[in-house]
Amino acid sequence: MKVKFADDTVMVGGYVPADAEKKSASEKAPWKFSVKVGEKPLQEGQERPDASWCSCASWHSSAAAIRKGDIVLAFGKLVSNVGNDGKTYWTLNVDGFLICNKAAAVAQASPVAAASDFDGFEEVSDGDGKLPF
């Protein structure tokens, strides 16, 4: 998934094929990872479509938690760089991200409140069984 907002912020979501990595020990070096954002249309003779990928760079230390197989939703601004080969490469400078599958795992791990947990509460109504709001 990829979305562009009116302020040129871009949001991408998808599968991460490898752990986020830091290419340098410097504090100023970003964590880099890729996100599969969809598939390119089938070309004649292809049996299955090629994947579309978004390269991401995050200066947030929490990006170290991104692992192979995670589903990530990231947003930020796109920047372009011209490589040695003369091609233009795009990178998403990540302002924020959410690791979706880990949030779901935490939600599933939390216990569900039992009916006995509400013994100290009283029902609020206006007398005819309707709630006052």
**Domains detected in the chain:** 2-118 (2.40.50.140)
Buried/exposed 64-92: b ≥16 CB within 10 Å, e otherwise: eebeeebbbbbbbeeeeeeeeeeeeeebb
pLDDT digits (tens, 9 = 90+) for 83-133: 999 999 999 999 999 999 754 444 444 444 445 555 665 665 556 666 555
Confidence (pTM): 0.68
Q: How many contiguous H segments (helices) and E segments (strands) does the chain have?
A: 1, 7
Q: Judge whether 78 and 60 are in contact, CB under 8 Å.
A: no
pLDDT digits (tens, 9 = 90+) for 39-90: 877 788 888 888 889 999 999 889 999 999 999 999 999 999 999 999 999 9
**What is the reported pLDDT for 49?**
80
Please report, for residues 52, 70, 82, the alpha-carbon distance to residue 89 in angstroms, rounded to integers and kept in the order given.
Answer: 13, 24, 6
